[in-house]
């Protein structure tokens, strides 16, 4: 490797941009699809998701989702965000924390399936403690794919266009 090619490689690494085959950049760079950036943090964000979306069910969780408007984007992150809830009905603190850890890891691995600008809130059931982790990951992937297809359908019909 010559000195010139090392400089080019270093520039690509330092820029932090991911370029797909064909030269197009993804909507949200993979480097920014990290869990700390992709979390719903504020109570108001959770409330907006609850008010805008309707409750949907899967085998081991229920979920809500909505698309953020252009005016709601933070300057440092424009990708999907995920929130988790684990109320006392799920068990004692040790069990709730284990549920949240498992859900966080499953969501982290499937974050790329969500459309940009989506906010999703996941409500796991107690069943999440007992099922195999691979099955949990598949279910979270299915939920995120469902969100993606519903967003695509609403965009085609024109009813779900972002403000």
Low-confidence ranges of the chain (pLDDT < 50): 1-26, 160-161, 163
pLDDT tens track for 60-71: 999 999 988 777
Strand pairing report for 81-84 and 56-57: unpaired
33-157 has CATH 3.30.230.10 classification: yes
DSSP H or E stretch at residue 47 = helix 43-52
Domain ranges of the chain: 1-27, 33-157
Q: What is the pTM of this model?
A: 0.74
Q: What is the pLDDT of residue 70?
A: 72
Query: Left (φ > 0), alpha (ψ -120 to 50) or beta: where does 16 sit?
Result: left
Cα–Cα distance measured from residue 18 to residue 31, given in angstroms and rounded to the nearest whole number: 8
Q: Per residue in 125-152, is it b (16+ CB within 10 Å) or e — as a string?
A: beebbeeeeeebbebbbebbeebbebbe
């Amino acid at each position: 490797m010559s000195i010139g090619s090392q400089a080019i490689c270093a520039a690509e690494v330092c820029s932090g941009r991911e370029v797909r085959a064909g030269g197009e950049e993804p909507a949200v760079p993979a480097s920014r699809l990290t869990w700390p950036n992709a979390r719903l943090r504020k109570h108001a964000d959770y409330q907006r998701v609850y008010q805008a979306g309707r409750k949907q069910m899967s085998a081991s969780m229920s979920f809500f989702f909505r698309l953020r408007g252009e005016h709601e984007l933070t300057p440092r992150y424009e990708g999907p965000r995920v929130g988790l809830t684990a109320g006392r009905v799920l068990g004692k603190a040790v069990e709730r924390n284990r549920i949240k850890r498992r859900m966080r890891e499953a969501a982290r691995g499937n974050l790329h399936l969500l459309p940009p600008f989506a906010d999703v809130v996941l409500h796991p059931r107690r069943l999440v403690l007992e099922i195999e982790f691979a099955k949990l990951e598949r279910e979270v992937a299915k939920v995120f794919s469902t969100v993606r297809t519903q967003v695509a359908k609403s965009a085609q019909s024109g009813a779900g266009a972002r403000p």
